Amino acid sequence: MKIQFLGTGSGVPSKERNVSSIVLDLLQEQGNMWMFDCGEATQHQILQTTIKPRKVERIFITHLHGDHIYGLPGFLSSRSFQNGETPVTITGPKGLKEYIETSLTVSGTKLKYPLIVEEVFEGLIFENDHFRVFAKKLDHGLESYGFRIEEKDKPGQLQTDKLQQAGIEPGPIYQQIKQNEKVTLTNGQTIYRSDFIGPDKPGRKVTILGDTRFIPSLSSFVRGSDLLVHEATFEHEHENMAYTYFHSTTKQAATIAKNGEVRRLILTHLSSRYQEENYQQLIDEAQEIFDQTSIAYDFYETEIPAKG
């Protein structure tokens, strides 16, 4: 599991930062990728990476401000031109379906793959064999959401030493035991998987929040995340401005991370008023509260290592 930032600025593109888009690489886990927001020129950013648009099969939109959705029509169209044939499901606030349909219809765009648009709501919004995704409503003036991606626990390791002690020699039977609750051997003996397998390996948890004011109760939603991605549009000194414009500061994001007992915090969605010479100050402000803080930049990527 890997996360890659395609755009880390807020409002409008700058020379250093494009507007919001994040890709969660799940190729090893389930053979595809998920995108979170798709700001203007996201498809141009992808050209600087190894990301294949046809591998993006789910898109989660936090809210409908232009810096989070203006790249959608172009990305969807390019995916079609680049041999994307598998369905794409887009989940986001009310109004997203109308925006996409109008953009594609007016431009005469016809996709070569099925497109499903789902309206987001609070709670469990998606589940398959590998993951669950939960949504939480935020405070941003218009409808905005955060998403918590939970990897399901994986079966523990087969304890081959115990199997050999029980007189079961290595072979295909080991795989059968791991995949089935019980297996009957050729001698009639019944083997129960639970007797020969270690504890489950806990799944990873990643939380990606959309634009929001500081909400202290968000700590419970992000609790225990291996990685929290939180906007930090403003420095601490501009806390009042952050509140006025429905955004958060460095220290507010760090407070959510600390109180939520997350492992790592990555700040993104920085105002264009901040340049490279300001970044250390922003990091220092957050690290006063939560040490494991870093700031994302365009094309920054990081692994979320498996547990256990």
- Give me the active site residues, please: 67
Q: Which of 141, 121, 136, 150 is nearest to 256 (CA)?
A: 136
The CA distance from 174 to 2, in Å, is 31
For the record, the structure tokens of 211 come out as 């634009």
- Which helix (H) or strand (E) segment holds residue 218: the answer is helix 218-222
Q: Are 224 and 205 in contact (CB under 8 A)?
A: yes
Let me know the angle formed at the C-alpha of 279 by 278 and 284, rounded to the nearest 5 degrees: 105
119: β partners: 92
Q: Which residues contact 303 (CB under 8 A, 6 or more apart)?
A: 1, 2
Q: What are phi and psi of 307, to 5 degrees?
A: -90, 155
